[in-house]
Amino acid sequence: MLEVIQGFIENIMAGLSTEAVIFVEIGTMLIIASILAFIVRLFKQPLIPAYILVGILLGPLVLGFISDPHLIRALSEIGVAFLIFTAGLEIKIKKLREVGKVATIGGIIQILALFGIGFGIALLLGFVGKAPVYIGLAVAFSSTMVVLKILYDKKELGSLHGRIIIGILLMQDLAAVIALTLLSSDSGLASIAISLGKAAIFVVVVIIVPKLSNKIFRKAANSTEMLLLVSISFLFLFSIAAQLSGLSLAIGAFFAGVALANSDYKTEIEGRIAPIRDFFAVIFFVALGAQLKAISSNYLVLLFVLLGIVLLLKPLIIMYLVRIFGYKKRTAFFTGNNMAQTSEFAIIMATAGFFTLKHIDQGLFSTLILLTIITMSLTTYCIDYEKKLFKLLKWVLRPLKGMKTHKENFEYLDDDEKRIIIFGCHRMGSLFLKEFEEDKKEVLVVDYNPEIIKSLISKKIPCIYGDFMNDEVLEKANIKKAEMIISTITDVEDNLYLIKKAKKRNKKVMIFVVATRISEAQLLYDAGADYVILPLVIGGQKSFELIRDIKRNKKKVKNLKKEHLKYLNSIHNILY
């Protein structure tokens, strides 16, 4: 049956011109990816595995619809360039200072440990030449692109484990750039020195460019089209310069992103680039799946061993390192769990090592691609269900039970009894805090963003750093004595858990929670919520009332504007 379908596809494509074939292949990729993504979203599943599955179906392994290997490689390179560029946009040098030793020292230890394990396993399995180097590098790095996208979607970039992850990923990306530079050179010391010198020049340019480019972006910022065009031009300028210098295209794209990440117009650039990034993310993952070919039985042992290292040993090593540096079990677990995958840099290295440098053979290339596909697909599920996984697997950190914890003592508590507990103080939570300003001694804030907690501590507002999914945090908040609990967190599963735990400890407590859908509100009411806040519904109702009053008396709008600005400033002052 499969052969019949493949023959039918070949007959159709044979009647088309080269240009038409390329158009049809790309168009079909996107159409099927859109359909499958829509179906997957209905079942609330992550999108990345769906895109990869589309590539596998259309690639040579199944239907053979995408038959041109040059097209696949070209799409992958363009996709990688944009994705590495946007990953670079997330990298700010200041991030390293925020998480200090765990990102720098811990990150370096993790890279060396995983590389050493991968390299040693490769030697034991009989690999020779430069193949063990590629295997060691593949397991050492995690995906900046995948992890940052998931953290952004979950609104956890500002959390403590999010900051640690960003710091470690930065160290990994810098190490990957150095590794790519060394792999691209021959083994001679002179060649290595020249390659590193070229990379050093790029670093210098990255430092200088933001200062020089601000004037250009200031002019371009007046036009959406110009800002987008200038941003993409920077990407191609750096990438072309890297290739002309004998370095990888990815190195140029990465440094272009880092250069613009530290400019004054980083936020505006990110906003303009985001739709293109999402488009090329689909292209990248589909093309990744399309590169997959069947691997021989000789490589199956290697694949399973590497899967064990990446999915089990790597997160465990990272968890232990984070714990050793003084962070709590929960932070350590989330950090390691988020990094249980291989990196887009592994694909870049494998592609260069097979097609350009001829360091590895087809079997190892396909194995490393398959390793990346499997780990990137599984990590989306691991991160989505990280809280449940923590409950099941937190025992793995028992050997470090006596380890001193000193990095997360972010709290300010007084002797007054707390009648009102607010979970989540960003945006809507800050509104509630403003309204309870006169009774702030009776209010306790629980938040998972260390910056917000530090700000509240400086203003002597009672607060605890932590997540209410942690029973220790609920005990410390003393919800048994609370009269009112307000959760501004929009995750329905989290709120269901909070209602269950709170009502079990204190049947009389009133619970107010937030939902984004009417169906979710009904679930929360059934679970025992006293009132469910639907911001869009309430906001729409209040906005209509406001506009109706202004329509009756247009002179009101100036006074309303002044009052609103005054109110917004007062909220900002509470948090910052």
Asked if residue 319 has pLDDT above 80, the reply is yes
Q: 83-400, which class in CATH?
A: mainly alpha
Write out the two tokens for 481.
Answer: 């004595």
The per-residue pLDDT for 51 is 87
Q: How high is the pLDDT of residue 90?
A: 67
* 261 pLDDT above the threshold of 70: yes
CA 470 – CA 486 distance, rounded (Å) = 17
pLDDT level of residue 406 (50, 70, 90 thresholds): low
CA dist 143 and 372 (Å) reads 9
Residue 454 confidence class, pLDDT cut points 50, 70, 90: confident
Share of the chain above pLDDT 70, in %: 84
Distance of CA 80 to the CA centre of its chain: 16
Strands 484-487 and 420-423, by their bridges, are parallel
Which tops the pLDDT comparison, 233 or 562? 233
Distance CA 462, CA 453 (A): 9
What percentage of residues in the chain have a pLDDT greater than 90? Answer: 17
Residues of the chain with CATH 1.20.1530.20: 83-400
Considering the chain, what is the average pLDDT of its residues? 81
Distance CA 538, CA 524 (A): 17
pLDDT given at position 306: 96
Ranked by mean pLDDT, which of 97-111, 185-199, 268-282, 336-350 comes out on top? 336-350
- Give the span between the Cα atoms of 46 and 371, in whole angstroms: 18
Instruction: Write out the residue limits of the CATH 3.40.50.720 domain(s) in the chain.
Output: 411-575
CATH superfamily, with its number, for domain 411-575? NAD(P)-binding Rossmann-like Domain (3.40.50.720)
CA distance 423 to 421: 6
What is the tens place of the pLDDT at every residue in 107-159?
999 999 999 999 999 999 999 989 999 999 999 999 887 887 788 777 777 77
CB 408 within 8 A of CB 327: yes
Q: Which of 92-106, 390-404, 499-513 has the weakest average pLDDT?
A: 92-106
pLDDT for 223 equals: 77
Reported pTM = 0.77
pLDDT at position 342 is 93
Cα distance between residue 121 and residue 118, in whole Å: 5
pLDDT surpasses 60 at 96? no
Once rounded to an integer, what is the mean pLDDT over residues 516-530?
88
